[in-house]
């Protein structure tokens, strides 16, 4: 048979990025379990050479009494661990580098050894990959190693998108939220992939609601940022940064690309709503087997939803009663 006529298995993935503490590894674990419930053929790849908190790494004792099929499934969750190739600790020790410099070196080393990663991935039957990535934002805003690695994966048929986690408490401090907007925009432009921005730990919004100057939809939809600038003028410590903040806001509003989806990883409904956005971004919605109804699929792709439905589903669960 002509190789050109063979049906190629569709391959999908999401790159999980975000500052340290934004909940990336927890998200990877929870989303993996969620996809497994949907019978999605999914695995996780850890590309953080300093990741010491991999919740998705199976504990041997925990699975000794489990059926073989469940045991195999549990071990298949971690498909590749970059720490088998190199670690931040190794780079620091051998090249006398600091933590950030060592991480940069590790990513450049992975880029040079891309074939190692590809061979590992080719051994798996999984067609959906969750990539757990380092938290240093400069890897996605300035450095090119991560971008180059995933551009190569795209050339091998992977349809990818970036999932950027930003902690919800940033909404309670205007200057931090403006910084998060700039970082999110810069990552979107630098990575060059379909992008979904997420307000992680949305269950904590209730704790910070009293400090938030506006309603939650102001932050998720990134509405008129002039109001945010005006609120900062009352604080002396921000006056000397007025022109800088104005320039950042002008840049963000000029591109008009950044918005956020609230997420509580402990709520199945929240994971399900984010799944639809991610499936739309990387194209899985057009190739999955989970939704056979064409109307349902199109609604997911187009995002058909009334403002009232969005309020009930995306905002109300995170507000005080």
Summarised one tens digit per residue, pLDDT across range 153-189 is 999 999 999 999 999 999 999 999 999 999 999 999 9
pLDDT in tens, 76-88: 478 899 999 999 9
The C-alpha atoms of residue 217 and residue 223 are separated, in whole angstroms, by 8
pLDDT at 140 over 90: yes
Tokens of 3: 């190789």
Region 248-252: mean pLDDT is 96
Q: Tell me what pLDDT residue 310 has.
A: 87
Phi, psi of 167 (to 5 degrees): -65, 140
Q: Tell me what pLDDT residue 290 has.
A: 59
Closest by CA position to 171, among listed 276, 315, 311, 15: 315
Closest by CA position to 283, among listed 11, 4, 49, 38: 11
Q: Which residues on neighbouring strands pair with residue 129, listed in sequence order?
A: 13, 43
The C-alpha atoms of residue 265 and residue 166 are separated, in whole angstroms, by 13
Share the mean pLDDT of the chain.
87
Percent of the chain at pLDDT > 90 equals: 72
Is this prediction's pTM over 0.75?
Answer: yes
For 49, 85, 254, 306, the CA distances from 112, given in Å and listed in that order, are 15, 12, 36, 48
Region 136-149: mean pLDDT is 95
Least confident window among 41-50, 145-154, 216-225, 306-315? 306-315
Residues 231, 20, 189: CA angle, nearest 5 degrees: 70
pLDDT at 5 over 80: no
């Amino acid at each position: 048979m002509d190789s050109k006529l063979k049906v190629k298995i569709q391959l999908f993935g999401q790159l999980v990025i975000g500052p340290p503490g934004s909940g990336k590894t927890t998200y990877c674990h929870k989303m993996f379990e969620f996809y497994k419930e949907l019978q999605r053929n999914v695995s996780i790849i850890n590309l953080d050479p300093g990741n010491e908190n991999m919740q998705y790494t199976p504990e041997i004792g925990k699975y000794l009494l489990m059926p073989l099929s469940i045991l195999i499934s549990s071990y298949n969750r971690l498909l590749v661990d970059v720490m088998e190739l190199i670690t931040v600790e190794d780079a620091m020790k051998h090249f006398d580098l600091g933590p950030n410099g060592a991480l940069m070196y590790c990513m450049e080393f992975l880029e040079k050894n891309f074939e190692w990663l590809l061979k590992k991935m080719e051994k798996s039957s999984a067609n959906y990959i969750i990539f757990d990535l380092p938290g240093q934002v400069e890897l996605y805003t300035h450095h090119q190693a991560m971008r180059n690695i995933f551009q190569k994966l795209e050339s091998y048929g992977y349809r990818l998108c970036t999932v950027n986690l930003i902690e919800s408490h940033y909404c309670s401090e205007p200057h931090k939220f403006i910084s998060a907007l700039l970082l999110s925009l810069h990552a979107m432009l630098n990575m060059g992939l379909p992008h979904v921005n997420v307000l992680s730990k949305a269950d904590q919004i209730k704790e910070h609601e009293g400090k938030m100057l506006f309603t939650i939809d102001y932050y998720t939809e990134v509405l008129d940022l002039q109001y945010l600038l005006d609120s900062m003028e009352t604080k002396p410590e921000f006056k000397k940064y007025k022109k800088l903040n104005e320039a950042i806001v002008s840049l963000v509003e000029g591109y008009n690309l950044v918005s956020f989806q609230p997420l509580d990883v402990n709520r199945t409904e929240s994971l399900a709503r984010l799944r639809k956005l991610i499936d739309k971004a990387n194209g899985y919605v057009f190739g999955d087997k989970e939704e056979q109804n064409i109307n349902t699929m199109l609604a997911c792709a187009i995002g058909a939803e009334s403002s009232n439905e969005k309020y009930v589903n995306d905002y109300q669960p995170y507000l005080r009663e």
